[in-house]
Structure 1
Amino acid sequence: MQIVFATNNLNKIKEVQSIIPNHIKLLSLKDIGCFEDVPETQNTITGNAIQKAKYVREHYGYDCFADDTGLEVESLNNEPGVFSARYAGPQRDANDNMDLLLNNLIEKPNRNAQFKTVIALHLNGNLETFTGICKGKITQDKQGTQGFGYDPIFMPNGYTETFAEMDLTLKNKIGHRGKAVTKLIEYFNAL
């Protein structure tokens, strides 16, 4: 079986490829000749994932799945949420995003947060969604060099290291994307 993962984020592809079974061949947007920005104009994480999956299916004819992920911080009314990638502006710079978030939390004692990933699967004319959530806290400063995005400032509940300090296997096991992908794989295995 081959399926398109509707992303150009090489870090996401690497993460998912390390979890997905060998009998499923993962294609990137580049592999199918999609070089334009796939629209993400919805106001929810679920809406963006569905929009991206439908776009690839309608414009390129491939079965595919797309994900959208957001970091939701309790004391910031669940910001940055759907705007996580461009929280500090259209340049989508992870350090700028983390700096802004840490600055916005300076006066806030509640640092509870969660990462939420929604995967939308467009397969054989059907649409399914799978959600993964990882609860944790925002640290006072950046810690670690692994991972990407907000990983250096997110410490999952029950652990003493951030996602950026963890080995990829552990992150995939406990993390939001890993949980959503596990549900996706269970769905594939039930077909």
Structure 2
Amino acid sequence: MRSVTFVTANTSKLEEVKAIASDFLEINSVSLDLPELQGEPEDIARAKCKFASNELGVPVITEDTSLCFNALSGLPGPYVKWFLSKIGLEGLNNLLAAYKDKTAYAVCIFAYSPSPSSEPVLFIGKTEGTIVPSQGPSNFGWDPIFQPAGFKNTYAELAKSEKNKISHRYKALEKLKSFFLQFSGTE
């Protein structure tokens, strides 16, 4: 089993990652004040991982999540955390009030760096869905307004075990797992 340091201050995210990846990762977590960058999701994920790797000097993974509204050409995207803190779940819904298209997609990007001198490797998971009025517990980000395609419930309404089998985070971690299995014993 590979040991990595997951850089996050979000305890709910840490719990979810441990639940999904415990069969292939031994996760140590560190809360590190990472810079809030602007740009494309892949560029943000890569830069955050490089920063964390340089600061800590150990193998690290970082994670960046985006919620992208198709009617808004992908916004709020990687800035969803800030949108959510400023306008809330209802405000996120209101962003789409003038549009018929309520479809969206959730993207999770894990970046892995075995050392400060390494270029981070990205693992991207994407789940299609729809933005709906808030439903279910509101204790984990925008989960109450994201209804994954093919489901009648939002992420917040799904059992954690069910969400952890279909989510954007799960899909990205499965790619990370495949990478580690493919390169077992090497860095």
Q: How many residues align?
A: 180
Q: Which runs of 5+ in 2 are unaligned?
A: none
- Matches of residues 1-191 of structure 1 in structure 2 within 5 Å? 1-22=2-23, 24-30=25-31, 34=32, 37-87=33-83, 92=85, 96-124=87-115, 125-139=118-132, 141-145=133-137, 148-190=140-182, 191=184
Deviation at 1:15, TM superposition (A): 0.6
Over aligned residue pairs, what C-alpha RMSD do you find? 1.7
* Post-superposition CA distance 1:67-120 (Å, at most 9, x none): 1111000112211012110015xxx36xx3322211121221110100011111
Tell me how far apart the structure 2 counterparts of residues 158 and 77 of structure 1 sit (CA, whole Å): 22
Deviation at 1:23, TM superposition (A): 5.6
Q: Please identify, of 12-21 and 157-166, the stretch whose mean Cα deviation from structure 2 is larger.
A: 12-21
Tell me how far apart the structure 2 counterparts of residues 16 and 146 of structure 1 sit (CA, whole Å): 19
Q: Which runs of 5+ in 1 are unaligned?
A: none
Q: Aligned with 1:120: secondary structure?
A: strand
Tell me how far apart the structure 2 counterparts of residues 83 and 122 of structure 1 sit (CA, whole Å): 23
Tell me how far apart the structure 2 counterparts of residues 59 and 72 of structure 1 sit (CA, whole Å): 30
Tell me how far apart the structure 2 counterparts of residues 183 and 20 of structure 1 sit (CA, whole Å): 11
Identity percentage over the alignment?
31
Tell me how far apart the structure 2 counterparts of residues 151 and 27 of structure 1 sit (CA, whole Å): 25
Is the CA contact 1:146–1:165 (under 8 Å) kept in the aligned structure 2? Answer: no
Could you tell me the TM-score, scaled by structure 2's length? 0.89
Deviation at 1:50, TM superposition (A): 1.2
Q: Aligned with 2:172: secondary structure?
A: helix
Q: Which runs of 4+ in 1 moved over 3 A?
A: none
**Pair 1:100–1:65, CA change in 2 (3 A):** same
* Post-superposition CA distance 1:19-51 (Å, at most 9, x none): 113463211114xxx4xx211313121122111
Is the CA contact 2:103–2:129 (under 8 Å) kept in the aligned structure 1? Answer: yes
- Opposite residue 137 of structure 1, the aligned amino acid is T
**Pair 1:147–1:15, CA change in 2 (3 A):** farther
Tell me how far apart the structure 1 counterparts of residues 123 and 7 of structure 2 sit (CA, whole Å): 15
* Post-superposition CA distance 1:122-181 (Å, at most 9, x none): 025352111100000011x11011661111011011000000000111111111011001
Could you tell me the TM-score, scaled by structure 1's length? 0.87
